Amino acid sequence: MTETAFRRMKDLPSTRLLGTGTPMCAGCGGLLALHEIYDILGEKTVFINAAGCMTLLSVYPFTPFRGSWLYTSMASAPAGAQGVRDALDILLEQKRISADEDLQTVVLTGDGSAYGMGLSATSGAIDRNLDFLYICYDNEGYGNTGQQFSEATPHAAKTSTSSGPRGFPGFKKDLFDIWAANRPAYVATVIGTEPLDLARKIEKAKNMKGPRLIIALAPCPTGWDYDPKETVEIGKLAVKTGVWPLKEYIDGKVVHTKIPRQRKPVEEYLQKQGRFAHLFKPERNEKLLAEIQQRIDVYWEGISNE
């Protein structure tokens, strides 16, 4: 966490920082994005938080948010959001609260829940056309329990449960396309190091109805093995190398909101992270590096005319 971000959280009224003084990890990319998102959403929100890194933000009875907070098990946040949204709608219908007192229903999860064990509940919520905003901070592993691989872990990354010489053998699941296939109101990718792009998308999502997803890539110093001061640089490289496309789905169409016309080589991004160190030492794995670069090249060739 940057010093400025720390002061902002510390100075929120009617709160104690993290309740018991439990710190978030220095340089957390997820917290960087969440600060910016909350600046726009504001206090008229109720966050339904699935177990994960951000659970440390709220230790009963304290929370750094001015709005409300509900904690759920890892797979249950969309179901919790259904109950919250239904309760608010009943109160509105019975005129027990006014429209000005209504709250934005916001699910907050990590990638373990969003890409994996919570996906079934999420699918059901989309099918019911639940009016909710789903925010996923994607640090590409189960970061709160030691960075085991998740369905969001990229190919060849080393994790505590995929520690062989080639790293994780699988490939990152495309949550953006999975949501878009269900024809929700809105889907977007963001990153805290591109604040203007993030702000535009949150403003847009805030003023819409129906299921909406924001996936924020969350560089993770502890899980990705890098110096916390490198978080901003790694986030920018994720975009400049094309590893993390910034895009949105709306009205049945996918539009890329920032296209890196002169992409940097992907190894500039990989070299800064210890989870990919085995690709460079004790000797370069040219074949695997070429495979990773080729997958990115093929993706961008498909959208080069936008």
pLDDT at 75: 95
| Residue 240: both structure tokens together | 């400049």
Each residue's pLDDT tens digit, 159-202: 999 988 899 999 999 999 999 999 999 999 999 999 999 999 99
Each residue's pLDDT tens digit, 220-254: 999 999 999 999 999 999 999 999 999 999 999 99
pLDDT at 164: 87
Q: What percentage of the chain exceeds 70 in pLDDT?
A: 92
Q: Rounded to an integer, what distance in angstroms lies between the CA atom of residue 220 and that of residue 222? A: 6
Q: Rounded to an integer, what distance in angstroms lies between the CA atom of residue 256 and that of residue 249? A: 9
Q: Rounded to an integer, what distance in angstroms lies between the CA atom of residue 188 and that of residue 179? A: 10
The dihedral of CA 234, 296, 289, 168: what is its sign? Answer: positive
User: Letter for the amino acid at 93?
Assistant: E
Q: Rounded to an integer, what distance in angstroms lies between the CA atom of residue 198 and that of residue 105? A: 19
Contact 306, 259 (CB under 8 A): yes
β-strand pairing of 132-138 with 211-217: parallel
Each residue's pLDDT tens digit, 61-81: 777 788 899 999 999 999 999
Q: Burial letters for 95-131: b for 16+ Cβ neighbours within 10 Å, e otherwise?
A: eeeeeeeebbbbbbbbbbbbbbbbbebbeebbeeebb
| Residue 56: both structure tokens together | 């440390």
Phi-psi region of 26 (alpha: psi -120 to 50; beta: other; left: phi over 0): beta
Q: SS3 of 166, please? A: coil
Residue 148: name the closest of 292, 285, 52 by CA: 52
Q: SS3 of 273, please? A: coil
β-strand pairing of 211-217 with 68-72: unpaired
Q: Rounded to an integer, what distance in angstroms lies between the CA atom of residue 156 and that of residue 284? A: 13
In the chain, helix, strand, coil percent, each to 5? 45, 20, 40
pLDDT at 57: 84
What's the fold here for domain 3-301? Rossmann fold (3.40.50)
Other C-beta atoms lying within 10 Å of the C-beta of residue 47: 28
pTM of the predicted model over 0.85: yes
Each residue's pLDDT tens digit, 32-44: 999 999 999 999 9
User: Of 23-27, 104-108, 203-207, which gets the smallest average pLDDT?
Assistant: 23-27
